[in-house]
């Protein structure tokens, strides 16, 4: 699954403003800012209670061996549905809204990776799942890693990590984290700045994610569009996302993955703004020799969202072989 030669660009950008519109839309979507207020499929969500009483919604489709799809930071179960509906032909697929995300609000305590791993255990218990496949994207992959460290693989038929490093922060000895060089101090600074002015922090992320520069002018604080977006963003609640981001600072699953004894698939987007050029594939091969690596040459941080047909097809093949 490792393509030879250099990777092509993600999507050739057309001239003019269309690429800017698309990139703004993608940036807002990836930050969980589109479709997060009203959930038209709320009637299709079931609920289970976590150990602290938090009610957590979950969408269940299909029948067969269970697969749990765990979304990333500021996303929801909806980001997995294009894949879930394809997997449902052969599997019973569970996609939740993690606490603080989607329809799982409000939350009574700060959200952490450890708390989410306990919620995964509660989901398995509630639905009586003896063995399941755990698939996590980004922060969801870290949640699965946390679960594996805390609870082992007794109830895990296989695991899938989508575009995630086992240790997001870097230092002089570890360069395979975010951007190939994001220290704990840098990440804490970003989170602190976001707590001080969440709207401005989101706008900066959207600006960094967009092209061409014409859009940067529209997003500036002195432009009417930029001002309107900032006013709207200040009505959104992102503190749970920031609480969860704090877990990134201490997250380090390198040692526990050395003991990984379940089948593992690692999916990497070669154009990922988080890990482009970071040799994660080689680290996973050396650390978990039995793992399978799948590269998506044109995909960014969310290969399952941008290429759901290929992702579902490869995941079904992996599950047929190992689960």
Answer whether residue 122 is part of any domain. Answer: yes
Q: Could you tell me if 200 and 160 lie in one domain?
A: no
Model confidence at 134, pLDDT cuts 50, 70, 90, reads very high
The mean of the pLDDT values for the chain is 82
pLDDT of residue 42: 64
The residue-averaged pLDDT of 162-183 equals 95
Decide which of 297 and 205 is more confident: 297
Picking from 316, 317, 22, 10, the residue whose alpha carbon sits closest to that of residue 163 is 10
The residue-averaged pLDDT of 202-222 equals 59
Q: Could you tell me if 227 and 262 lie in one domain?
A: no
Q: Could you tell me if 188 and 49 lie in one domain?
A: no
Answer whether residue 172 is part of any domain. Answer: no
**Domain final residue pick, 211, 232, 250:** 250
Answer whether residue 32 is part of any domain. Answer: no
Answer whether residue 282 is part of any domain. Answer: yes
3-45 per-position pLDDT tens digit:
333 332 333 332 333 334 444 444 454 444 444 333 446 668 9
Distance of alpha carbon 125 from alpha carbon 19, whole angstroms? 46
Task: Give the DSSP letter string of 184-244.
Answer: HHHHHHHHHHHHH-HHHHHHHHHHHT--SHHHHHHTSTTSHHHHHHHHHHTTS--HHHHHH
Answer whether residue 102 is part of any domain. Answer: yes
243-290 per-position pLDDT tens digit:
888 888 999 999 999 999 999 999 999 999 899 999 999 999 999 999
Q: Could you tell me if 160 and 270 lie in one domain?
A: yes
Residue ranges making up the domain that contains 192: 180-250
Radius of gyration of the chain (CA): 19
pTM for the full predicted model = 0.81
Q: Could you tell me if 280 and 191 lie in one domain?
A: no
Torsion of CA 191, 196, 202, 208, to 10 degrees: -70
**Domain final residue pick, 250, 271, 293:** 250
**Domain final residue pick, 250, 281, 307:** 250
Q: Could you tell me if 270 and 139 lie in one domain?
A: yes
Answer whether residue 235 is part of any domain. Answer: yes
User: Are the beta carbons of 281 and 2 closer than 8 angstroms?
Assistant: yes
pLDDT value at 228 more than 90? no
Answer whether residue 51 is part of any domain. Answer: yes
Handedness of CA 136, 138, 141, 146 (dihedral sign): negative
Q: Could you tell me if 73 and 128 lie in one domain?
A: yes
Count: domains in the chain = 2
Q: Could you tell me if 135 and 62 lie in one domain?
A: yes
44-65 per-position pLDDT tens digit:
899 999 999 999 999 999 999 9
Model confidence at 199, pLDDT cuts 50, 70, 90, reads low
Answer whether residue 3 is part of any domain. Answer: no
In CATH, what number is assigned to the domain containing residue 65? 3.40.50.1820
Q: Could you tell me if 241 and 257 lie in one domain?
A: no
Q: Could you tell me if 134 and 274 lie in one domain?
A: yes
Q: Could you tell me if 243 and 260 lie in one domain?
A: no
User: Are the beta carbons of 265 and 315 closer than 8 angstroms?
Assistant: yes
Q: Could you tell me if 277 and 140 lie in one domain?
A: yes
């Amino acid at each position: 699954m490792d393509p030879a030669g250099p990777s092509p660009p993600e999507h050739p950008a057309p001239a003019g403003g269309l690429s800017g519109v698309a990139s703004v839309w993608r940036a807002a979507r990836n930050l969980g800012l589109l479709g997060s207020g009203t959930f038209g499929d709320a009637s299709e969500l079931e609920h289970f209670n976590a150990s602290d009483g938090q009610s957590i919604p979950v969408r269940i489709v299909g029948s067969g061996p269970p697969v749990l799809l765990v979304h990333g930071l500021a996303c929801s179960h909806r980001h997995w549905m294009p894949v879930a509906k394809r997997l449902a032909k052969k599997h019973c697929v569970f996609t939740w809204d993690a606490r603080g995300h989607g329809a799982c609000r409000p939350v009574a305590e700060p959200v952490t990776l450890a708390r989410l791993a306990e919620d995964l255990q509660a989901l398995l218990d509630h639905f009586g799942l003896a063995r399941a496949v755990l698939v996590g994207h980004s922060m969801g992959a870290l949640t699965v890693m946390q679960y594996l460290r805390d609870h082992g693989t007794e109830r895990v038929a296989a695991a899938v990590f989508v575009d995630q490093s086992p240790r997001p922060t870097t230092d002089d000895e570890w360069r395979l984290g975010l951007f190939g060089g994001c220290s704990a101090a840098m990440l804490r600074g970003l989170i602190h700045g976001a707590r001080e002015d969440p709207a401005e922090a989101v706008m900066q992320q959207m600006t960094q994610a967009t092209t061409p520069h014409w859009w940067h002018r529209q997003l500036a604080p002195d432009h009417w569009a930029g001002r309107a977006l900032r006013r709207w963003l200040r009505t959104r609640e992102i503190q749970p996302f920031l609480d969860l981001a704090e877990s990134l600072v201490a997250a380090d699953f390198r040692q526990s993955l050395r003991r990984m004894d379940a089948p593992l698939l690692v999916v990497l987007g070669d154009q990922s703004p988080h890990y482009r050029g970071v040799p994660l594939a080689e680290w996973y091969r050396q650390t978990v020799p039995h793992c399978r690596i799948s590269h998506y040459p044109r995909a960014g941080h969310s290969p399952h969202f941008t290429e759901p047909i290929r992702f579902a097809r490869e995941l079904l093949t992996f599950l047929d072989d190992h689960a």
